[in-house]
Structure formats: structure tokens, C-alpha cells
């Protein structure tokens, strides 16, 4: 299954973005209110310059204490983004997330942000593929192929 199919099947295909100057406390509030695990950092809402996850916030809180919440997102965001394209396979995305130990991957098309894939999205896609393969094989066996 390709990333484009995953995006099409998502209930909400919007990507929540914040500017690099957003305070960490405001980003944390957005994450909590929207019940999401990450925000993409963007100056214009279309190009990604970084990503900030709940893990990033917890990590900096444990090292610097609550005073870090008054810092800007760009101080603690991940700058070296791992991204994918609509034509990439779910298996490839899942492998990259697993190897890199991260759970969210922005989807870019010609440098523009078009979606966000989570590890849960990729696992769900793989399970759907496996269920279809199982059904096809059972159908072949039932029909005495």
C-alpha cells in the first residue's frame, strides 16, 4: 500500500503546524487539546522546517525543568526531518520509522507539506494488506486452485 492510500483513508488528513517562534508551552497545549503526538514546525504552513513531538517536550523538561516552556519551539524541535512522498510504500515508511525510533513522518510533494503519517497509520495499512492477502489465499484454497 502506498502513502497516498493511507492519506486518503485517514479521518483527518490535516497537519497541525506551529511557527518556529511558538513557545514550547503553547505547542504543548496544542498537542494536549488536539490529542495528537506531534506538530510540524513551519514558517508558512506549507514547508516543514522541523517537527516537535511529545517526546521532545518530555526530554527537555527532564533536563531543564519547567522554565524551558518559555523557550521557542525552534530551540528544541528536530531539524533533520525524515519525510516521505505519496508514492512511497507503507512498508518503507514503517521500516524507516522503526529503525529511526520515531512515530511521525511528514509527507511532502514538491517540497510542500501534504500530510502526516503516523506509525499507527503504517501498521494499520500493513494489517489491512495482510488481511486481504489472507482472504485471497483462503479463497484460492476454497475454490480448489
57-103 pLDDT per residue, tens: 999 999 999 999 999 999 999 999 999 999 999 999 999 999 999 99
pLDDT of residue 56: 95
Q: Say what the pTM is.
A: 0.84
What's the Cα-to-Cα distance from 70 to each of 2, 58, 60, 67, rounded to whole Å? Answer: 40, 14, 12, 6
**Average pLDDT value over all residues in the chain:** 91
**pLDDT band for position 129 (50/70/90)?**
confident
pLDDT of residue 66: 94
- CB distance 49 to 42 below 8 Å: yes
**What's phi and psi for 114, nearest 5 deg?**
-120, -5
Give the Cα separation of 48 and 127 in Å (integer): 29
**pLDDT band for position 19 (50/70/90)?**
very high
Instruction: List, for residues 28-53, the tens digit of each pLDDT value.
Output: 999 999 999 999 999 999 999 999 99
Q: DSSP string of the chain? A: -BHHHHHHH-S-----EE-TTSBHHHHHHHHHHHT-SEEEE-SSSSS--EEEEHHHHHHHHHHH-GGGGGSBGGGTSB-S---B-TTSBHHHHHHHHHHHT-SEEEEEETTEEEEEEEHHHHHHHHHHHHHHHHHHHHHHHHTT-
**What's phi and psi for 88, nearest 5 deg?**
-70, 150
pLDDT of residue 145: 55
Residue 111 has pLDDT above 70, yes or no: yes
Specify the CATH number for 3-142; select among 3.40.50.300, 3.40.50.2300, 3.40.630.30, 3.10.580.10. Answer: 3.10.580.10
Given the DSSP bridges, would you call strands 38-41 and 17-18 parallel, antiparallel or unpaired? parallel
Amino acid at each position: 500500500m502506498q502513502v497516498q492510500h493511507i492519506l486518503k483513508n485517514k479521518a483527518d488528513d490535516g497537519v497541525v503546524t506551529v511557527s518556529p517562534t511558538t513557545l514550547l508551552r503553547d505547542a504543548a497545549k496544542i498537542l494536549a487539546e488536539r490529542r495528537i503526538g506531534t506538530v510540524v514546525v513551519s514558517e508558512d504552513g506549507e514547508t516543514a522546517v522541523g517537527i516537535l513531538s511529545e517526546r521532545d517536550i518530555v526530554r527537555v523538561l527532564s533536563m531543564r525543568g519547567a522554565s524551558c516552556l518559555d523557550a521557542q519551539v525552534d530551540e528544541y524541535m528536530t531539524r533533520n526531518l525524515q519525510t516521505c512522498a505519496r508514492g512511497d510504500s507503507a512498508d518503507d515508511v514503517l521500516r524507516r520509522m522503526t529503525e529511526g525510533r520515531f512515530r511521525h513522518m511528514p509527507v511532502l510533494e514538491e517540497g510542500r507539506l501534504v500530510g502526516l503519517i503516523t506509525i499507527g497509520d503504517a501498521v494499520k495499512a500493513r494489517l489491512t494488506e495482510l488481511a486481504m492477502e489472507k482472504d485471497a489465499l483462503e479463497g484460492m484454497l476454497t475454490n480448489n486452485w
